[in-house]
Chains A and B, each alone.
Chain A
């Protein structure tokens, strides 16, 4: 049977060479090609607090929010490698640039530990490790944007993630990196090394419900050559029933970050050293292809005098025609205390498609 298929393929290949080459995804020459996928995020938005200047990366109207190209493959029996190149608009121009969002190798052959080296999303809580197309909402939580920037904490370094010998999933990750993050670190010397520890625990309450608790801490020199740090905590409950789970699920996530940034101040010299905030969101799958979601955010616990409190509420409805496509409508209302009575409203529509051999998202 197998031979017949092979012979037929060969025969077709001989007969209609060009067509057969395009048609056979598993020809020998391609067998070792990495899994290649691309993800496109398109956006239309209109917000009272968003710029109409199209050289601003986050602007009103239509935009190509991001295109991500991903290559993933085993290198050899010992490790695998992944490259995720992000194409997005550069701030201050309407031109696009390519950034190595993640380029790393990780071990597959070491017992109990995964060692990773390269440039990758640091294990600061849950949200920071998500790619843009996997964000639960169109934008990242405010506290993430304000503490570590819209790109998140994504540095060059090394990482070791140890699976603890417990009956539940318990993982301790230790990372060392070059503190280059513009918003939080930007240390004066490339020789400086930053550190991060992440302790992640997941417990299946039963077959339907899983809980996750994570604690993180990171510290490194900032642009003033002082040690800046962020402490994080995240708590998630995921309910997807073993019976009927194709149609319904509920996810409740909360993430808190508390940043300490010595010598950081606003234009008037008011201290911005302490900045903490929380985001909590619910995602409910009400049918096979429909999700409704809500998010509440509070920035300013704790806060220094130069930091203004900010509250934001978001609502989102998503339609996912298949696991490879989605269209989402989001409304945000935010109220910064720095401008009393001047609330911001934003409405945004985003499409999200994936083509090619895309790896599964983490749980």
Chain B
């Protein structure tokens, strides 16, 4: 009886060790956008989960303890960085009590620092300017070309943690990056055909997307980053929309779009598009490519 018991235990230990050896790499991403990249690059070699919902403003996520539980099991934590998640990722990591994924360890990756950034502040930064980011605009995931580079960085990190997967990760990242670059050319043609060259947004969220497709951001509805629209500022916005013949206002869908009512009353033929800016930010937006398609469509719909 006793020997059967001992054998059972030995078998259990051996099997659990074996299943651990074959276990997939467990990755937790701060956002659904990063998760979308990791799903493509990692394929069936990784299990990936994410924290911020696509319908939420990534600046202001609350560090719920359930996120710490998620991160406590992770082999790798991937964040955008550039202070995008500064209000919550440090708390999640500290609460996770998982030394593998702490800042500076092999299991922690910030992709933002690898990317050329827009709006790098040149002088001093002060909060009198609102929520400014000292390391540049952090909404890098909305540029399909930069995301191609991010995919390759993620492939490098996955290869470091799971060397047998190196070739698969590298190929998937390169293929996807090439695919996105090809699609960018198609999207560029569609946007050019629409003759939409100027837009207004609520916050400086879409800058990388707009920059990629040569669309000028004329003004934001926020007077300063993180400060809600004021009556006085809306007057300025209306003036600029009129004088610069802006055909389209894109409102990130976690903001209250009711502020745009005044704009449509004041400016004839102005199109307002409430758009998702993250994967799973709206029904059907299940990956980054679909997100870019939705944004391109929003622009094209405002065709002059």
A contact residues vs B (CB 8 Å cutoff)? 1, 5, 8, 22-26, 74, 77, 80, 108-114, 163, 166-169, 171, 202-204, 207, 210, 240, 242-247, 288-289, 322-324, 355, 359-360, 362-363
Contacts and interface: CB of A to CB of B under 8 A. Distances in A.
Contact of A23 (B98, B123, B228): B123
Interface in B49-98: 53, 55-57, 60, 62-66, 68-69, 72, 86-88, 90-91, 94-98
A22 B123 CA distance: 9
A77 B64 CA distance: 25
B62 A25 contact: no
Contacts of A26: 134
Contact of B97 (A110, A207, A210, A243): A110
Contact of B228 (A111, A202, A288): A288
A202 to B, nearest CB: 4
Chain B: interface size category: 35 or more
B129 to A, nearest CB: 12
A129 to B, nearest CB: 13
Contacts of B131: 322
B207 to A, nearest CB: 16
A5 B120 contact: yes
B88 A360 contact: yes
A204 B66 contact: yes
A117 to B, nearest CB: 16
B11 interface: no
Contact of B124 (A22, A323, A355, A359): A22
Contacts of A242: 53, 55-56
Nearest to B253: A243
Interface stretch (B99-107, B242-250, B291-299): B99-107
B231 to A, nearest CB: 15
B15 interface: no
Given A163-B97, A324-B127, A360-B90, A246 B60 contact: yes
Nearest to B135: A26
B228 A114 contact: no
Contacts of B63: 360, 362-363
9 contacts: A23-B123, A112-B97, A114-B97, A163-B97, A168-B66, A203-B66, A243-B254, A323-B226, A362-B63
Contacts of B104: 77
A245 B56 CA distance: 7
Given A1-B116, A359-B90, A360-B88, A169 B68 contact: yes
Contacts of B226: 322-323
Given A163-B68, A163-B96, A363-B65, 5 more contacts: A25-B125, A108-B94, A108-B102, A242-B56, A360-B86
Interface in B157-184: none
A65 B138 CA distance: 37
Nearest to B73: A165
Contact of B99 (A24, A74, A110): A110
A246 B57 contact: yes
Contact of A289 (B86, B94, B228): B228
Contact of A362 (B91, B98, B125): B91
Nearest to A207: B53
B256 interface: yes
B65 A169 contact: yes
Given A22-B124, A109-B99, A288-B228, A204 B94 contact: no
Contacts of A114: 94, 97
B57 to A, nearest CB: 6
Contacts of B95: 163
A247 B123 CA distance: 33
Contacts of A355: 127
A257 B98 CA distance: 33
Contacts of B228: 288-289
A204 B120 contact: no
A118 B228 CA distance: 41
A74 B108 CA distance: 16
Contacts of B105: 77
Contacts of A168: 66, 69
Nearest to B85: A360
Nearest to A113: B97
A77 B134 CA distance: 25
A210 B66 contact: yes
A363 B97 contact: no
Contacts of B60: 246, 323
Interface string B109-136: 0000000100010111101001100100
A362 B120 CA distance: 30
A163 B69 contact: yes
A105 to B, nearest CB: 13
A355 to B, nearest CB: 8
Contacts of A8: 122
A5 B124 CA distance: 14
Contacts of A207: 53
Given A243-B55, A360-B90, A202 B123 contact: no
Given A163-B72, A246-B254, A109 B102 contact: yes
A323 B53 CA distance: 21
B10 interface: no
Contacts of A169: 65-66, 68-69
A114 B228 CA distance: 39
A322 B124 contact: no
